[in-house]
């Protein structure tokens, strides 16, 4: 069974809470530090081995500089695949949100989006299985536990998936920098799909054509654009405020 590596205090703590029986072992830079107390207690309850390791070694293994002195090895999380999408959605209530990321390339953005999705109880993140960033240690570290609580569904074709979702009574909203209706003036329908484009080019033309509505954020200052995850958080918050 292939192992996955998880670093960061919040990410490892959530891993221990959500699926402790998948954790093989934990490494800490200093077992005596108070900041590791929750991790130590959770690991001891489940009899998970705890070992001491240098911070440099954690970086060497994980390639994450901001690892916070903690590393866990665990069984790779089971993925929700494209063929499971129908059955996955059937279990959800009507009033929910799905976030679709069209060719996101920055692991920090994907991680931040996962953290946002956890905050607002977004049902899932959908990404392409090629042309998108891998779900690596940086993604999980930045997600601060969101990678454990929010399902990530990998699909082959964004446009085809959006067409399928619309046939399943989803309303699809595409985020665009211009030409869209201001997000705080829209009455959203549910279940909702928010589609965000990649960091450099935004939504592709074909993807945008498969959206029911275009939405945008009213920019009042001098900055011309927002970071992908920041924009996603603003729009998801606006949508979530209309869930009854």
Q: What is the pLDDT of residues 139-190, one digit of tens each?
A: 999 999 999 999 999 999 999 999 999 998 999 999 987 778 999 999 999 9
CATH superfamily of domain region 80-240: SPOUT methyltransferase, trefoil knot domain (3.40.1280.10)
pTM of the shown model: 0.91
CATH 3.90.1150.10 fits 3-75, yes or no: no
Three-class SS of residue 28?
strand
Domain-wise residue ranges, the chain:
3-75, 80-240
List, for residues 42-72, the tens digit of each pLDDT value: 999 999 999 999 999 999 999 999 999 999 9
- Distance CA(60)–CA(50), nearest Å, equals 19
Find the helix packing angle between 107-119 and 228-240, rounded to 10°: 20
**Mean pLDDT, residues 28-55 taken together:** 95
Q: How far is CA 41 from the centre of its chain?
A: 27
Give 81 or 72, the one with higher predicted confidence.
Answer: 72
């Amino acid at each position: 069974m292939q192992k996955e590596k998880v670093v960061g205090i919040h990410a490892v703590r959530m891993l221990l809470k959500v699926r402790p029986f998948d954790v093989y072992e934990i490494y800490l830079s200093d077992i005596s530090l108070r900041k590791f107390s929750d991790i130590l207690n959770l690991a001891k309850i489940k009899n998970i081995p705890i070992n001491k390791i240098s911070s440099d070694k954690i970086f060497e293994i994980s390639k994450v500089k901001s690892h916070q002195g903690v590393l866990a090895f665990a069984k790779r999380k089971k993925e929700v695949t494209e063929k499971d999408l129908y059955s996955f959605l059937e279990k959800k209530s009507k009033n929910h949100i799905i976030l679709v990321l069209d060719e996101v390339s920055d692991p920090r953005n994907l991680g931040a989006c996962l953290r946002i999705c956890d905050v607002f109880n977004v049902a899932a993140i959908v990404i392409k299985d090629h042309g998108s960033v891998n779900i690596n240690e940086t993604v999980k570290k930045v997600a601060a536990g969101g990678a454990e609580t929010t399902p990530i569904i990998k699909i082959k074709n964004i446009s085809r998936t959006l067409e399928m979702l619309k046939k399943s009574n989803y309303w699809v909203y595409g985020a665009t920098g211009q030409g869209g209706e201001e997000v705080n003036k829209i009455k959203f329908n549910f279940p909702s799909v928010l589609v965000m484009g990649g960091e450099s080019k935004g939504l592709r033309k074909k993807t945008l054509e498969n959206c029911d509505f275009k939405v945008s954020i009213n920019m009042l200052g001098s900055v011309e654009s927002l970071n992908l995850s920041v924009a996603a958080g603003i729009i998801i918050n606006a949508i979530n405020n209309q869930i009854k």
